[in-house]
Chains A and B, each alone.
Chain A
Amino acid sequence: MRTPAKLLICLALLIMLAPIGYMFLATLINLDTGFLFEVITNSRYLVLFSRTVLIATLTALGSIILGVPLAFILARFRIPFSRTLEYLLLLPILIPSYFVTISLVYMLGWNGILTVWLQKLLGISTLPFNIYGVTGAVFIMVMCHFPFVTFLTLAGLRNLDSNLEKTAWLTTSKFRAFLSVSLPLVLPYILGGGILVFVLAVNNFDVPSITLLDVYPLEIFYRFSVFFRTDQAMILTLPLLAITLTAVLIWYYLFRNRPIFTINTRWKAPERIPISWLAQTLCLVFITLIIGLSVALPIIGLALNINSLTDIINTFIIIQPHLFNSISTTFISTAGTLILGFLLAYLLERTEFRFKGLLLWLLILSLVIPGAAIGLGLIKLYNHSGLLFIYHSQFIISLGLMARFVALPALIMAGAFKTLDPSLENAARVAGVSRTATLTRVILPLLKRPLAISAIICFILAINELAVTILVAPPGITPLSVRIYSLFHFNKAAEVASMCLIMAFLVVLLYIILGSVIKED
């Protein structure tokens, strides 16, 4: 890639990361050393941090315990409806964690429908399970995040060379061969899934903010919102930043030379083995139970708050302007994030330049900065006479969303580039095909799948984002995520449930459309 192109990409990245840089610089210039000392010495922060790490660790472990067997069943056993079940298991990722939390609070809260029913059934006044405590938070987060482990493990299993296992069969049993050959090869994928879940859980704000559980990300929010101390909030982010950076780097190095997406393998993945009807039934019961808990239960929880279809129709009519704003903003940000993410991945994987390491660190850093910090940075940078045309438009929200999420498609696409044989591009170039044609006719078609997956992830995250959106949404524009969050606290259960279902429907629709595009390919 030529230098001007590199510069242009770096400039675009700089624009996106500028708010984050601004907030860090402002904090460093006026460093509150007293507060820094307090963070180190006050046991309050240690307790909160430990609790947050404990929740994240338990969530990661829970996701592994649930996600890995699912992946093995789907990848290695011949069971009916496996393709459909695989699609259904993706749904928990598509439904945002705060929808699930709201729904489970409606179901299992102090006076939730299920709580009251269980209390009557069991004849007890207090259930042993509490959705508001650490156990509740872990349960909700596991239900939301376990598919990451499942699908990464699936990717690992499908990228295995079946010949390795078959060779081992010559000297040992199939089970032993699996344990000694296949499992070690899949282990990095399992660990990668666990780490990904850990990172998502350690930074999760939605679940504890709804279930009132004091955790470290909430403490950061209080510094912003209760004390107006942006600088102290930035200092508070440092321990979270350190642990997340460590986890993300481990993840990055685990997958440095391992493909997540199978694009052009030279080997054949192990075939699925037939199992007895009893084993098939047991597998189906297990998968159905998981889908029931992670997908059906939240949807039923929401649906029970809707009195009739009219509720949904009325809500749809009321939210139409909010919906249009949210969708248009989300589309702009998703498109921008994808384009820049793709180009950054190309820079990282296909070119050599001096500040490559720095670029990678910046990307990872952008993943863990609190949304409120990005929002405040955007206000400070764009609320000036020359830039008011951006500040007063929806584009300011899109910019914030791009800054928050650009690293995700960049890292996913970088992983995909690793699996793409560079000789294909070289062959095209040698044959006289231009760089652009190589990009559009060779690279892009091969990377359709990871691109579509990145698009879905960015769209879901963007349409549900609250922290940046609430701070920078221009007057006259109320994004849907802000409206839902507000109405939940106003106890408007029917409207909230209707909106959640409409949003979930939109996301699933996008998933089906993009899925069919990939399938056609």
Chain B
Amino acid sequence: MTLKNLLFLVSLTLLVILTICPACSKTPSNEVVIYTALDEVFSGPILKSFEKDTGIKVQMLTDTEASKTVGLATRLVAEKDHPQADVFWNNEIGWTLVLKQQGILAPFSPTSAKDIPERYKDPQGYWTGFAARARVILYNTDLLKEAEAPQSVLDLTQPQYKGKVAIARPIFGTTLTHAAAFFAVLGEADAKKLFMNLKANDCKIASGNMMAAKMVASGELPLCLTDTDDANEMMLDKKPVKIIYPDQSGIGTLVLPNSIGLIKGGPNPVNGKKLIEYILSAQTEQRLAKLASAQMPLRPGLEPYSPLFDLRNIKVMAIDYSKLADAIDPAKKFIYDEFLK
């Protein structure tokens, strides 16, 4: 055998692998492709139920919590010319708004979402919100008495909390969306002032909301800004922590719903719409509400995880999502250039 023949054999083997691999992973045509930022632990069972009920095979792609939806969003933008996904299910709203701006989403108004309040839906139908989390202050009851705890995010800049507050790095995930919400609601100047005051007050930066919650739960720091699901995890672990819904006498607490949208030009639009209808159904929202992540149902008639996570008891921040979308870029740039400098 000559070297030429050997190389020919190697090339042939590579070709066989190239042919066999796709064949092995070949999926049935009756399928739907979903990119989801919600962890597989929570999204997986719901998608399995959809498969069982409809016979449509679901191909799921999840993101890492570490990259906070960014991996999926980056991929959706990179695939814009030849979309491979049908549905994008985000565990919050920020990147969904960015994707709408980037022209990745297509309008679709699902009938199953009719009873979801209009404030949680895009007026043009590019996305629909459901099952929310709220941005809360978590405090350690061993380190701080209830009367000493702050009642507003603005209070965190007060001298008595200097060096005692943790927040997740606000360039990703819900913390970025929270920052953008301040830009949209307070105005750019006041929002910038808030963040610079936080910085001056020696606010600690954690790798994520869970880490911030852990720091408070373990007594490392008395206070943090985090999400309700992370706070609930700490409470389930019987840690000495309590939740405060901030700004109840002011601008209200920011509520961030899961959001779902149809991908423009996706390969299976009909099945994509069916999946969106399914995920937005009241049953799915109820299922999500009963999980440890304690997602808060947006539909008035559904039962929350516990009275603590009942949206009806909370003053929700009145936010215009189109303004929030416009605020993401300036907020991101300011935080990146100034706050994290």
Provide the bound-state CA to CA distance between A354 and B61, in Å. Answer: 45
By the criterion CB–CB under 8 Å, are A226 and B2 in contact? Answer: no
Known: A4-B4, A482-B64. A475 touches B59 (CB 8 A): yes
B9-17, B190-198, B243-251 - interface stretch: B9-17
By the criterion CB–CB under 8 Å, are B60 and A476 in contact? Answer: yes
- Residue in A209, A376, A389, A490 whose beta carbon sits within 8 Å of that of B65 in the complex: A490
Give the distance to chain A from B218, nearest Cβ to Cβ, in Å.
4
Known: A1-B3, A489-B210. A8 touches B61 (CB 8 A): no
- Residue in B3, B27, B66, B81 whose beta carbon sits within 8 Å of that of A5 in the complex: B3
Provide the bound-state CA to CA distance between A225 and B341, in Å. Answer: 18
Report the interface size for chain B: residues with CB under 8 A from the other chain: 64
Cβ contacts under 8 Å, B2 to chain A = 434-436
By the criterion CB–CB under 8 Å, are B3 and A485 in contact? Answer: no
Q: Which of B64, B73, B74, B215 has the most CB of A within 10 A?
A: B64
Query: Chain A, 361-383, contact with B by CB distance < 8 Å: what is the 0/1 string?
Result: 00000000000100010011001
By the criterion CB–CB under 8 Å, are B25 and A477 in contact? Answer: yes
By the criterion CB–CB under 8 Å, are A489 and B25 in contact? Answer: no
By the criterion CB–CB under 8 Å, are B82 and A385 in contact? Answer: yes
Provide the bound-state CA to CA distance between A270 and B296, in Å. Answer: 73
Residue of B nearest to A111 (CB): B218
Cβ contacts under 8 Å, B74 to chain A = 224-225, 228, 372, 376, 471
Cβ contacts under 8 Å, A437 to chain B = 1
Kindly count the residue-residue contacts between A and B in the assembled complex, taking CB atoms under 8 Å apart: 151
Give chain B interface residues in 270-313, CB to chain A under 8 Å.
none
Residue of A nearest to B66 (CB): A489
Cβ contacts under 8 Å, B206 to chain A = 212
Cβ contacts under 8 Å, B65 to chain A = 486-487, 489-490
By the criterion CB–CB under 8 Å, are A394 and B21 in contact? Answer: yes
A188 at the interface (CB under 8 A from B): no
A488 at the interface (CB under 8 A from B): yes
B33-41, B120-128, B150-158, B180-188 - interface stretch: B33-41
By the criterion CB–CB under 8 Å, are B71 and A222 in contact? Answer: no
By the criterion CB–CB under 8 Å, are A490 and B210 in contact? Answer: yes
A174 at the interface (CB under 8 A from B): no
Give the distance to chain B from A124, nearest Cβ to Cβ, in Å.
15
By the criterion CB–CB under 8 Å, are B4 and A475 in contact? Answer: no
Cβ contacts under 8 Å, A385 to chain B = 82
Residue of A nearest to B98 (CB): A228
By the criterion CB–CB under 8 Å, are B210 and A491 in contact? Answer: yes
- Residue in B18, B66, B169, B171 whose beta carbon sits within 8 Å of that of A390 in the complex: B18
Give chain A interface residues in 252-300, CB to chain B under 8 Å.
none
Cβ contacts under 8 Å, B172 to chain A = 225-226
Cβ contacts under 8 Å, B144 to chain A = none
Cβ contacts under 8 Å, B62 to chain A = 478, 482, 486
By the criterion CB–CB under 8 Å, are A486 and B7 in contact? Answer: no
Give the distance to chain A from B231, nearest Cβ to Cβ, in Å.
13
By the criterion CB–CB under 8 Å, are A389 and B22 in contact? Answer: yes
B48 at the interface (CB under 8 A from A): no
Cβ contacts under 8 Å, A222 to chain B = 171, 336
Provide the bound-state CA to CA distance between A395 and B207, in Å. Answer: 33
Give the distance to chain B from A226, nearest Cβ to Cβ, in Å.
5
By the criterion CB–CB under 8 Å, are B61 and A474 in contact? Answer: yes
By the criterion CB–CB under 8 Å, are A489 and B6 in contact? Answer: no
By the criterion CB–CB under 8 Å, are A475 and B210 in contact? Answer: no
By the criterion CB–CB under 8 Å, are A393 and B70 in contact? Answer: no
Provide the bound-state CA to CA distance between A171 and B108, in Å. Answer: 90
By the criterion CB–CB under 8 Å, are A210 and B35 in contact? Answer: no
By the criterion CB–CB under 8 Å, are B21 and A383 in contact? Answer: no
Residue of B nearest to A212 (CB): B207
Cβ contacts under 8 Å, B19 to chain A = 389
Provide the bound-state CA to CA distance between A460 and B111, in Å. Answer: 49
Known: A473-B61, A486-B39. A491 touches B84 (CB 8 A): no
B112 at the interface (CB under 8 A from A): no
Cβ contacts under 8 Å, B211 to chain A = 489, 491
- Residue in B18, B71, B171, B218 whose beta carbon sits within 8 Å of that of A395 in the complex: B18
Give chain A interface residues in 478-511, CB to chain B under 8 Å.
478, 482, 485-491
Cβ contacts under 8 Å, B11 to chain A = 8, 12
Q: Categorize the interface residue count of chain A.
A: 35 or more
Provide the bound-state CA to CA distance between A477 and B77, in Å. Answer: 20
By the criterion CB–CB under 8 Å, are A475 and B17 in contact? Answer: no
Cβ contacts under 8 Å, A226 to chain B = 70, 171-172, 332, 336
Provide the bound-state CA to CA distance between A436 and B10, in Å. Answer: 13
Cβ contacts under 8 Å, A5 to chain B = 3-4, 7
By the criterion CB–CB under 8 Å, are B1 and A475 in contact? Answer: no
Q: Which of B24, B84, B332 has the most CB of A within 10 A?
A: B84
B322 at the interface (CB under 8 A from A): no
- Residue in A1, A8, A343, A475 whose beta carbon sits within 8 Å of that of B35 in the complex: A475
Query: Chain A, 114-136, contact with B by CB distance < 8 Å: what is the 0/1 string?
Result: 00000000000000000000000
By the criterion CB–CB under 8 Å, are B3 and A395 in contact? Answer: no
By the criterion CB–CB under 8 Å, are B64 and A383 in contact? Answer: no
Provide the bound-state CA to CA distance between A9 and B341, in Å. Answer: 47
- Residue in A209, A475, A477 whose beta carbon sits within 8 Å of that of B84 in the complex: A475
Q: Which of A2, A332, A392 has the most CB of B within 10 A?
A: A392
Known: A8-B11, A226-B70, A486-B65. A475 touches B214 (CB 8 A): no
By the criterion CB–CB under 8 Å, are B66 and A393 in contact? Answer: no
Known: A380-B78, A395-B22. A212 touches B60 (CB 8 A): no
Give chain A interface residues in 436-495, CB to chain B under 8 Å.
436-437, 439, 470-471, 473-478, 482, 485-491
B56 at the interface (CB under 8 A from A): no
Provide the bound-state CA to CA distance between A224 and B35, in Å. Answer: 19
Give the distance to chain A from B305, nearest Cβ to Cβ, in Å.
18
A391 at the interface (CB under 8 A from B): yes
Cβ contacts under 8 Å, B17 to chain A = 332, 395
Provide the bound-state CA to CA distance between A192 and B61, in Å. Answer: 42
Provide the bound-state CA to CA distance between A92 and B85, in Å. Answer: 40
By the criterion CB–CB under 8 Å, are B67 and A470 in contact? Answer: yes
Residue of B nearest to A439 (CB): B3
Cβ contacts under 8 Å, A489 to chain B = 64-66, 207-208, 210-211
Cβ contacts under 8 Å, B79 to chain A = 379, 383
Cβ contacts under 8 Å, B336 to chain A = 222, 226
Provide the bound-state CA to CA distance between A250 and B65, in Å. Answer: 39
- Residue in A1, A210, A224, A476 whose beta carbon sits within 8 Å of that of B61 in the complex: A476
A227 at the interface (CB under 8 A from B): yes
- Residue in B6, B14, B22, B66 whose beta carbon sits within 8 Å of that of A392 in the complex: B22
A24 at the interface (CB under 8 A from B): no
Provide the bound-state CA to CA distance between A319 and B335, in Å. Answer: 38
Give the distance to chain A from B238, nearest Cβ to Cβ, in Å.
15
Give the distance to chain B from A278, nearest Cβ to Cβ, in Å.
45
Cβ contacts under 8 Å, B3 to chain A = 1-2, 5, 435-436, 439
List 19 interface pairs A-B (beta carbons < 8 Å), by A numbering: A2-B3, A5-B4, A5-B7, A9-B7, A110-B220, A209-B66, A212-B205, A225-B74, A226-B336, A332-B17, A380-B78, A393-B22, A470-B64, A485-B64, A485-B66, A486-B62, A489-B66, A491-B211, A491-B214
Other contacts beyond A12-B14, A380-B78, A474-B59: 20, CB < 8 A: A212-B169, A212-B205, A212-B207, A224-B74, A228-B77, A339-B10, A343-B7, A376-B74, A376-B78, A383-B79, A383-B81, A385-B82, A389-B22, A392-B22, A434-B1, A436-B3, A475-B33, A475-B59, A476-B59, A478-B62
Nearest first, the 3 A-B pairs at minimum CB distance are A475-B59, A489-B65, A486-B64
* Chain B interface (Cβ < 8 Å from any Cβ of A): 1-7, 10-11, 14, 17-19, 21-22, 24-25, 27, 33-35, 39-41, 59-67, 70-71, 73-75, 77-79, 81-82, 84-85, 169, 171-172, 205-208, 210-211, 214-215, 218-220, 233, 332, 336, 340-341
